[in-house]
Structure 1
Amino acid sequence: MKKGVLMVNLGSPDSPNPKDVKKYLDEFLMDERVIDLPYILRAILVKGIVLNTRPKKSAEAYGKIWWDEGSPLIVLSERLQEKIDAFTSVPIALAMRYGSMSIEEGMQELHDKGVDEVLLIPLYPQFAMATTETIQVLAEEIRQEKYPHMSFTHMPPFYNHPDYIRVLSESIRESLEGKDYEHLLFSYHGVPKRHIRKSDITKSHCKMDGKCCSTPSPAHEFCYSHQCKEVTRLVGEYLEMEEGTYSTTFQSRLGFDPWLTPYTDRTIEKMGLGGTKKMAIATPAFVSDCLETLEEIAMEGEEIFHEVGGEEFHVIPCLNDREDWVKVLSRWIDEWAMSEVTA
């Protein structure tokens, strides 16, 4: 069997034009693992409300961060792919869960190269219904329908892998070198609390009480909340940070349902009002900078901080195409490629 790799990231509109943004949001928000409401209710919310109000505002946000080469997320993902391709001996294809560069196109690219054993890599450190799971489910549907000869090996979430923690920690250390800051905020993309409960394979562990995430359980294999907090803890240990000088928050909530807390924007505001003058922020739910990091954090977050008296606001870049990150991913791929047993 010939092996190959399909790396999958979130995706992006084709342009910051409201029409393209609306098309993208329609596909994204109608995913039942993103907004997990019955189809009729989801359609009323998305097509009846959100798509009539949000595309223009989102297009303006995309316009602020759009590069000459295109969407930052796409450009950075392509750079990562190109560098990994130079380090590894197996074909590497790149796809997006939403928008152009579809998963089906990525699988076709590998098929055309004779690949029939695929390592599927969702480019997310932590597991979540709206990220890892939706990629795996769609890829499997396409495989069964169009590429039944292919087999998948799913790369598990790597949130606690020592290599990942080392690279993430060193990227934070380098970014903050020579900078004076009082607090480091680890901001993760938010999800509704019900997603955490739905992903609980024990059906009893997740109580959302602030204790279950630190209590050992099989549920942690699929618990986004636990995995985010574990990244913060492990990086804090690696960098030998003092307790109280760093914390975990969640951003990008939508609607009125309870989402994971504390919220990033409110925490930034609270810290500024509380007298914090210098803060830094990392976004370890993403491996590539995107709208949520470049606009929501680096622009909106900084504006909030300055409005309430903060002075210095340093945003740490995602891993993007750092050389050490490229080498880690390449080594993981080569280790799989050289193995004889498919998981």
Structure 2
Amino acid sequence: MNKKNKQGVLLVNLGTPDEPSVPAVKRFLSQFLHDKRVVDMTRWLWCPLLHGVILPIRAPKVAKLYQSVWMGEGSPLMVHSQRQADKLAQALDIPVALAMTYGNPSLLSGFQALMEQGVDEVIVLPLYPQYSATTTAAVSDGLTLAFKKMAVIPSYRLIRDYHQHPLYIKALADSVRRSWQEKGQSDYLLCSYHGIPQRFADNGDIYPLHCQKTTQLLQLELGLSDEQIGMTYQSRFGREEWLQPYTDKTLEALPNKGIKSIDVMTPAFASDCLETLEEISVECQALFKEHGGEVFNFIPCLNDDDRHIEMMVELIK
């Protein structure tokens, strides 16, 4: 690291509504789903569909789901991300700011917060272990837009991914072992990753390769056989084919294969959020038990776990 410049860190996550209300959810989803990295449909087709059909129907449903997981301090994703930023600042003893690709605090405000503290060299750490054009590249696009509004931009470096970093794998493995100590080891460990359309992977997105590598390394670290661990993709949207196998379909099928108890973790998420706390822990648990499953243990994200922060410190150094 260059000793001449004052350095800082910008932690970036996807984003969250400001409050669990329909207008706030609509604002957030509108910004998120307008990004061509996320939905690449022709604008004249997509925009009327988004504003005329999708947002009016989805926003009230999603707002209710957010209300079910909202914490006293705010959205789970925001609370956990802020705790990560605070712990990281303490561990590194340099300024750390938090920003979101969509919603608040914005990427622009994150850079401004660092520059107000005299920072002129920024390490940008998107909280996505596995690279995807839909997430990490969207952060890069957002940085470019933020810089257009700044008279002076800092020098910066972007950490592209950390899907196979030894300390990341160890942190994941430790979280599994803790769950086993508290609740006992289940028949099967399922790693559920956020999905993307299959077409994106066909066009060169390396995300599924990174997910596969993370799962392989975790399997080795935990000493599990191929029959004891698997990976799936969740959160598909729309009618086109997404990465498979699908999490929901897998959970429906496992009890018929004799797997009645499972541990489920979400290695693509650095912080617990709606997709982990509601979709996996509530919806998917109900689905598994409806189809004959008996024990469903949800393993939380790494959040502000000390091992997770140690990994971030190592990455930044």
TM bucket, shorter chain: over 0.9
Matched residue SS, 1:98: coil
- Checking the alignment, whether the CA contact within 8 Å between 1:25 and 1:51 is kept in structure 2 is yes
Deviation, 1:83, is 0.8
Deviation, 1:64, is 1.1
- The answer for the alignment partner of 2:15 in structure 1 is 11
Offset from partner CA, 1:116-147 (integer Å, 9 cap, x none): 21111100101111110101111122224415
* Partner AA of 1:91 in structure 2: P
Identical counterparts, % of pairs: 40
The change in CA–CA distance for 1:303 and 1:7 in structure 2 (over 3 A counts) is same
Structure 2: how far apart are the matches of 1:303 and 1:4? 43
- The answer for the alignment partner of 2:124 in structure 1 is 120
Structure 1: how far apart are the matches of 2:44 and 2:285? 38
Please state if 1:179 is matched with 2:180.
Answer: no
* Partner AA of 1:275 in structure 2: G
Structure 1: how far apart are the matches of 2:104 and 2:146? 16
- The answer for the alignment partner of 2:30 in structure 1 is 26
Please state if 1:154 is matched with 2:158.
Answer: yes
Structure 1: how far apart are the matches of 2:166 and 2:185? 27
The correspondence for 2:69, drawn from 38, 44, 65, is: 65
Deviation, 1:151, is 1.4
- The answer for the alignment partner of 1:338 in structure 2 is none
Deviation, 1:169, is 1.2
Please state if 1:239 is matched with 2:244.
Answer: no
Runs of at least 5 residues in structure 2 that lack an aligned partner in the other structure: none
Please state if 1:271 is matched with 2:254.
Answer: yes
The correspondence for 2:278, drawn from 283, 291, 295, is: 295
The correspondence for 2:239, drawn from 256, 267, 279, is: 256
Runs ≥4 residues deviating over 6 A: none
Structure 2: how far apart are the matches of 1:272 and 1:18? 37
The correspondence for 1:142, drawn from 124, 139, 146, is: 146
Q: TM-score, length-normalised on structure 1?
A: 0.88
- Checking the alignment, whether the CA contact within 8 Å between 2:80 and 2:272 is kept in structure 1 is yes
The change in CA–CA distance for 1:314 and 1:144 in structure 2 (over 3 A counts) is same
- The answer for the alignment partner of 1:319 in structure 2 is 302
Root-mean-square deviation (CA, aligned residues, Å) is 1.3
* Partner AA of 1:290 in structure 2: C
Deviation, 1:277, is 1.4
Runs of at least 5 residues in structure 1 that lack an aligned partner in the other structure: 201-221, 336-343
- Checking the alignment, whether the CA contact within 8 Å between 1:143 and 1:150 is kept in structure 2 is no
